[in-house]
């Protein structure tokens, strides 16, 4: 596998790990909630920006119906390759969020689930999502809450810092960079979004075991290829001792993973 950058881009191998482990552990449960926040109905046209392996786009299609009603856009070819294997009913497009390949006022809803934190130009990406919305269209963007409100990832970043230094630990902090209500609302307003609302929602991370948790974060997300095999085994060994507080009696991992869901309707 090639090295993964701090912009959240992954290779095909990492995308497969992401889809197999991260989607059920973190992302799958949020897709119906984002769809509900958008008020999707049959006949609407929807774009999912930073669609990844397609979990939100597929959920959106359930709400609006088939027939090229949903488009999924992602910069990463590895993610799109996995998404394309799932369904051909969605229009999968490789493009940056900052330059969506669609006409102005093309969609009834623009969605983005846990991708905004990684965009090179966040304001430009938000402005693009707002541009492609029709009047009356709905923008919904979900980001993770702050690390301070996410004890499981606060603990693992502290462990990574102790074992491998801050340069490694900081990579796992990136997904939580927009986890402040005021910061997110200000970013939306500065990007041209009118009267955005931001709501904090409770959520939960679920992994089968500590080893599965470490495998997911190291092989399928921001730490892909940052640790060699020996370092990975050291991490798992230390994590199984230090992160026991997040393990249920049955051996599974559970911890709070809240998110901020921003929404706005284009007048």
Given this model, what pLDDT does residue 6 score?
40
> Where do the structural domains in the chain lie, given as residue ranges?
12-148+176-206+257-265
Nearest to 203 by CA among 247, 245, 152: 152
pLDDT band at 7 (very low <50, low <70, confident <90, very high): very low
Q: Distance between CA atoms of 133 and 141, rounded to whole angstroms?
A: 14
Q: Distance between CA atoms of 189 and 196, rounded to whole angstroms?
A: 7
- The overall average pLDDT reported for the chain is 91
Q: Distance between CA atoms of 61 and 70, rounded to whole angstroms?
A: 6
Q: Distance between CA atoms of 251 and 256, rounded to whole angstroms?
A: 17
Beta-strand pair 259-265/46-49: unpaired
For residues 174 and 226, the answer to whether their CB atoms sit within 8 Å is no
Chain centroid offset of residue 113 CA: 5
Given this model, what pLDDT does residue 219 score?
76
pLDDT tops 70 at residue 168 = yes
Given this model, what pLDDT does residue 13 score?
67
pLDDT tops 90 at residue 116 = yes
Alpha-carbon dihedral 62, 93, 115, 206, rounded to 10 degrees: 50
Instruction: Name the more confident of 67 and 132.
Output: 132
Chain centroid offset of residue 114 CA: 3
pLDDT tops 80 at residue 92 = yes
Question: What phi, psi does 139 have (nearest 5°)?
Answer: -105, 130
Q: What stretch of H or E contains 140? A: strand 133-144
* DSSP code per residue over 195-209: S-EEEEE--EEEESS
3-state helix, strand, coil in the chain (%, to 5): 45, 20, 35
- 187-246 per-position pLDDT tens digit: 999 999 999 999 999 999 999 999 999 988 887 767 777 899 999 999 999 999 999 999
For residues 113 and 142, the answer to whether their CB atoms sit within 8 Å is yes
Distances (CA, A) of 4 to 51, 179, 193, 218: 18, 23, 31, 11
Q: In what order do the strands lie in the sheet with 70-74?
A: 91-94, 70-74, 46-49, 107-113, 133-144, 259-265, 197-201
Check if CATH label 3.40.50.150 holds for domain 12-148+176-206+257-265.
yes
Given this model, what pLDDT does residue 2 score?
27
Q: What is the pTM of this model?
A: 0.90
Instruction: Name the more confident of 1 and 78.
Output: 78
Given this model, what pLDDT does residue 4 score?
35
Given this model, what pLDDT does residue 3 score?
29
- 23-43 per-position pLDDT tens digit: 777 787 899 999 999 999 999
Given this model, what pLDDT does residue 165 score?
96
pLDDT tops 50 at residue 5 = no
pLDDT tops 60 at residue 89 = yes
């Amino acid at each position: 596998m090639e090295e993964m950058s701090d912009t959240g881009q992954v290779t095909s191998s990492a995308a497969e790990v992401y889809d197999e482990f991260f989607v059920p552990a973190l992302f799958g449960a949020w897709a119906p909630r984002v769809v509900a926040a958008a008020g999707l109905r049959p006949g609407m046209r929807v774009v999912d920006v930073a669609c990844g392996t397609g979990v939100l786009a597929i959920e959106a299609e359930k709400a609006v119906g088939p027939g090229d009603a949903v488009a999924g856009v992602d910069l990463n070819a590895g993610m799109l390759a996995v998404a394309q294997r799932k369904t051909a009913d969605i229009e999968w497009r490789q493009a940056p969020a900052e330059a969506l390949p669609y006409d102005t006022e093309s969609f009834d809803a623009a969605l983005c689930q846990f991708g905004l934190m990684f965009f090179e130009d966040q304001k430009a990406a938000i402005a693009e999502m707002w541009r492609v919305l029709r009047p009356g269209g709905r923008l919904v963007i979900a980001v993770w809450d702050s690390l301070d409100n996410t004890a499981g990832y606060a603990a693992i970043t502290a462990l990574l810092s102790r074992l491998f230094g801050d340069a490694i630990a900081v990579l796992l902090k990136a997904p939580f960079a927009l986890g402040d209500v005021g910061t997110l609302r200000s970013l939306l307003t500065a990007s041209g979004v009118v009267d955005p609302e931001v709501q904090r929602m409770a959520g939960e991370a679920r992994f089968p075991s500590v080893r599965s948790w470490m495998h997911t974060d190291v092989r399928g997300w921001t730490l892909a290829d940052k640790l060699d095999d020996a370092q990975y085994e050291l991490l798992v060994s230390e994590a199984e001792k230090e992160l026991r507080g997040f393990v249920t009696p049955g051996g599974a991992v559970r911890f709070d993973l809240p998110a901020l869901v921003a929404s706005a309707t284009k007048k």
